[in-house]
């Protein structure tokens, strides 16, 4: 199953023509993501990370360069890529079940029900299928949104700050859940975030982007073993090295070796 979901981004640039001058949202983006990898894109607001994600999912169609999924140039949305938005975007007029079933086509009612049930199970929403979005908490809504994005068994799941609106504890809990779902589904996941710890906890690879123009500053691979220990020494070290990219690391004037 591991020969799917390889993403190749080559010389991608995106320019909006403004009144006086052009705005370079993305410039010279080169990145390759292996099948089954968990990659985080991290950067300050306005660095184009969400734009890049929208290009990958196909909501923004015009771009220079190539974005290739398993060798094929992407052009518009397709069912082989799922997305979870920051605001869960569940349809409030539909139950959780019906929201999850939205993307399923060409199946009998029975097959549909099986797919929906198994995905409700996958994201741990058992017993909430008949509820409406207004009856769910933030975390539960995002679980439902993840299930909705996964029903078509996409090769890649894109996550646009999916946990940004949740409280800190729920977010940590959802990190574990995301990791579990990622392992179980064995798919490529690309997440946009501005939470360094979140990126470190989940990712095989962290892409640091800088703004104006939006370009990749550094790609950091995270070789830590899973499940990761947030309190561990290696984790803290890695966190420092990522924060260094943003000039946010702690200045150590002396270092002691024991």
Partner 1 sequence: MNAIIDKAMLKRFVEGSILPVMLLLIWYFLSKARIIDALTFPSPSDVLNGFLKVWKEGLLAENLLISIIRVSKGFLIGASVGYVIGIMIGMSRIAEKMISPVFNAVRQVPIPAFAPLLVLVSIGEPSRVLFIAIGACYPVALNTVEGIRSIRKEYFEVGNVFRFGRIRRFLKIILPSSFPSTLTGLRIGLSVSWLLVVAAEIFISSGGGIGDMMWACRETSNIDLVIVCIVTIALVGFTMNYLMQKLEIIFSKWRLTR
Residue closer to partner 1 by CB (options 70, 87) is 87
Q: Does the footprint of partner 1 cover residue 134 (CB under 8 A)?
A: yes
Which residue from 83, 140, 163, 174 is in contact with partner 1, where contact means CB under 8 A? 83
Residues 6+ apart with CB under 8 A from 74: 55, 56, 58, 67, 68
Cβ(215)–Cβ(65) under 8 Å? no
Among 23, 34, 46, 59, binds partner 1 (CB under 8 A): 59
| Residue 89 beta carbon to partner 1: minimum distance, rounded to whole angstroms | 5
- According to the binding rule CB under 8 A, does residue 57 interact with partner 1? yes
Per CB under 8 A, 89 contacts partner 1:
yes
Stretch that binds partner 1, among 14-22, 89-97, 183-191, 227-235 (CB under 8 A): 89-97
- Within the chain, residue ranges assigned H as helices are 49-57, 96-101, 109-122, 138-150, 168-185, 196-202, 233-244
**Site pattern 203..232 for partner 1 (x: CB under 8 A):** ------------------------------
Does 243 interact with partner 1 (rule: CB under 8 A)? Answer: no
Minimum Å gap between C-beta 87 and partner 1 is 7
The least distance separating partner 1 from the CB of residue 107, rounded to whole angstroms, comes to: 14
Stretch that binds partner 1, among 9-17, 32-40, 79-87, 193-201 (CB under 8 A): 79-87
Using DSSP, state whether 35 is helix, strand or coil.
coil
Q: Is 139 in the site for partner 1 (CB under 8 A)?
A: no
Q: List, in sequence order, every beta strand (DSSP E) within 18-71.
A: 22-33, 38-43, 64-69
Binding mask 92-111 for partner 1 (x = CB under 8 A): xxx-------xx--------
Least Å distance, CB 111 to partner 1, is 17
Contact (Cβ atoms closer than 8 angstroms) between residue 242 and residue 206: yes
- Do 82 and 154 form a contact (C-beta atoms < 8 A)? yes
Cβ-contact 142, 174 below 8 angstroms: yes
Does the footprint of partner 1 cover residue 36 (CB under 8 A)? Answer: no
185 vs 245, beta carbon nearer partner 1: 185
Question: Rounded to whole angstroms, how far apart are CA atoms 202 and 111?
Answer: 32
Q: How many CB atoms lie within 10 A of CB 137?
A: 11
Residue 76's alpha-carbon distances to 23, 54, 146, in angstroms, are: 22, 10, 21
Where on the chain is the footprint of partner 1 (CB under 8 A)?
Answer: 57-59, 77-79, 81-83, 85, 87, 89, 91-94, 102-103, 132-134
């Amino acid at each position: 199953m591991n020969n799917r979901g390889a993403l190749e981004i080559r010389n991608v640039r995106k320019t909006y023509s403004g009144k006086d001058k052009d705005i370079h949202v993305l410039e010279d983006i080169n990145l390759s993501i292996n099948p089954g990898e968990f990659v985080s894109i991290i950067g300050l607001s306005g660095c184009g990370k969400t734009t890049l994600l929208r290009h990958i999912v196909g909501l923004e169609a015009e771009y220079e360069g190539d974005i290739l999924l398993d060798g094929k140039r992407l052009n518009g949305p397709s069912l082989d890529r799922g997305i979870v938005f920051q605001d869960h975007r569940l349809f409030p007029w539909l139950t959780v079940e019906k929201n999850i079933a939205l993307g399923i086509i060409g199946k009998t009612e029975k097959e549909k029900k099986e797919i929906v049930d198994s995905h409700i199970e996958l994201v741990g929403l058992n017993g909430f299928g008949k509820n409406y979005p207004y009856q769910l908490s933030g975390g539960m809504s995002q679980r439902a949104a993840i299930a909705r994005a996964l029903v078509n068994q996409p090769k890649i799941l894109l996550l646009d700050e999916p946990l940004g609106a949740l409280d800190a504890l729920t977010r940590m809990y959802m990190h574990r859940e995301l990791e579990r779902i990622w392992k179980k589904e064995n798919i490529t996941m690309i997440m946009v975030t501005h939470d360094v710890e979140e990126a470190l906890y989940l990712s095989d690879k962290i892409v640091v982007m800088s703004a104006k123009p939006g370009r990749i500053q550094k790609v950091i691979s995270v070789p830590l073993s899973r499940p990761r220990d947030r309190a561990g020494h290696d984790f803290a070290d890695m966190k420092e090295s990522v924060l260094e990219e943003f000039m946010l690391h702690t200045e150590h004037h002396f270092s002691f070796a024991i």
